[in-house]
Amino acid sequence: MSRMLSTMSEVNTNASDRPYWVAFRLAEVASANRMLALLAHFGSLEAAWAADETQLRRVLGNRQRMLGNLLRSRRAIDVPSVMEKLERDGVLVVTLADGGYPRLLREIAAPPPVLFYKGQFLETDSLAVAIVGTRRATAYGRETATEIAAGLAMAGVTVVSGMATGIDGFAHRAALEAGGRTIAVLGSGIYDIYPREHLALSRRIGEQGALISDNLPDAKPDRWNFPARNRIISGLSLGVVVVEAPEKSGALITVDFAADQGRDVFAVPGMATAIASEGCNRILRDGARLVRSASDVLEDLRIRSTAEPVEVQQPLLLDEHERRVLNVLTGEPQHIDDIVESCDMPLPQASAILLVLELRRLVRNGGAQYYTRH
């Protein structure tokens, strides 16, 4: 990566070259290393776009399929018309050659050379944390994601996620409702918002943060796009918080990328028997940092809040068993044996529920297995 950064300083990075970054991306030739090689050889991508096949072969090698695709694309792509359409549709472009390219993302190995986006990037977005998790979130997961995202946003941290249903959507909404910034990374093109139920949410994100994609603008949400999406989510962030994730969740792919990129990995614990938390509990066992709230994340990342603490009232979403336990508790300490008898449930189940309620700050553990209601 250090060689890539030094090479960037050696080449022409004027803004007039931006349309040709887009052109090479549309020709599906773009990768960070290829773009830098073309820049270093030709001095500008405009010159590279106009170069003949022999000259291009000197840089790109004898990759016949790639060269053939590039030459066909050059005949088909009207570069000014492409840029005019993007501008008309309110789609912005930032490239590795631009000073406005996200700083944290630039630091990863092979960063995406071109990003299409709506909204804006700010320098403060270098203070960002990703929140990811399952699409099939439980009430516990929804509440926890909401609380953590709101707390981070109120502390001046940009919340990054993938705009999927479930945990992602709750994280984005909570950041917006808290008056903070959020960035959504798409697994589709910027023209094809997915899932469609998040169309209104995507508009809000574009107004109060950024909606971004490294895919071609009209790309569909094909499954092979999502691992690359997850890599960008972690790349944009100082750390990744996994709220709920089954054992085979896509959120755990983001964790793998975060580890490769040297990002911090955090996980919210769940009940030992909860399928939705299997992945979280496993990565906690493997060394992820346990967090229960935004303040835990801020403390671990040594981030000082830029705002006064604000209490956020969240809807109390409890299942039948959690309500039964909570209704038994009062301000007076009760031993777990008495709670079990009052609730008429097995000790392991009551113990697990008390742990969940404690993590949600609804119950206080006074020690020696005595509990009170918060």
* Residue-wise pLDDT tens digits, 20-40: 999 999 988 867 888 889 999
Q: Is the pLDDT of residue 198 over 50?
A: yes
Rounded to whole angstroms, the Cα distance separating 102 from 112 reads: 11
How does residue 317 score in pLDDT terms, banded at 50, 70 and 90? low
**Comparing 123-301 with 320-373, is the CATH topology the same?**
no
Q: Is the pLDDT of residue 278 over 50?
A: yes
Residue 355 vs residues 192, 266, 311, 364: alpha-carbon distances, Å: 42, 18, 22, 10
Rounded to whole angstroms, the Cα distance separating 176 from 100 reads: 23
pLDDT of residue 14: 63
**Identity (one letter) of the amino acid at 203?**
R
Q: How far is CA 370 from the centre of its chain?
A: 39
Place of tokens 């409890």: 318
At CB < 8 A and 24+ separation, what contacts does 58-63 make?
59/34, 60/29, 60/34
Domain positions in the chain are 2-119, 123-301, 320-373
pTM: 0.78
Q: Is the pLDDT of residue 9 over 50?
A: no
CATH topology (fold) of 320-373: Arc Repressor Mutant, subunit A (1.10.10)
Rounded to whole angstroms, the Cα distance separating 214 from 221 reads: 12
pLDDT of residue 13: 53
Q: What is the mean pLDDT of residues 187-214?
A: 94
Q: Which residue has the higher pLDDT, 71 or 7?
A: 71
Residue 128, helix vs strand vs coil: strand
Rounded to whole angstroms, the Cα distance separating 267 from 342 reads: 32
Dihedral (CA of 29, 35, 41, 43) sign: positive
Q: Is the pLDDT of residue 226 over 70?
A: yes
Quote the tokens at residue 186: 């798409």
Rounded to whole angstroms, the Cα distance separating 284 from 349 reads: 21
Rounded to whole angstroms, the Cα distance separating 165 from 175 reads: 15
How does residue 174 score in pLDDT terms, banded at 50, 70 and 90? very high
pLDDT of residue 315: 43
Task: Report, at the CATH architecture level, how domain 123-301 is classified.
Answer: 3-Layer(aba) Sandwich (3.40)
How does residue 219 score in pLDDT terms, banded at 50, 70 and 90? very high
Question: Beta partners for 373?
Answer: 363
Rounded to whole angstroms, the Cα distance separating 177 from 51 reads: 50
Average pLDDT, the chain: 87
Instruction: Express each pLDDT in 63-101 by its tens digit.
Output: 888 888 899 999 999 999 999 999 999 999 999 999 999
Cβ–Cβ < 8 Å for 132, 241 = yes
In DSSP notation, 316-344 reads: ----HHHHHHHHH--SS-EEHHHHHHHHT
Quote the tokens at residue 173: 């909404």
SS3 sequence of 286-298: CCCEECCCHHHHH
Q: Is the pLDDT of residue 11 over 50?
A: no
Q: What is the mean pLDDT of residues 116-141?
A: 94
Question: Beta partners for 183?
Answer: 160, 210
Nearest-5° Cα angle at 225, 221 to 104:
120
pLDDT of residue 373: 82
Question: Beta partners for 116?
Answer: 93, 213
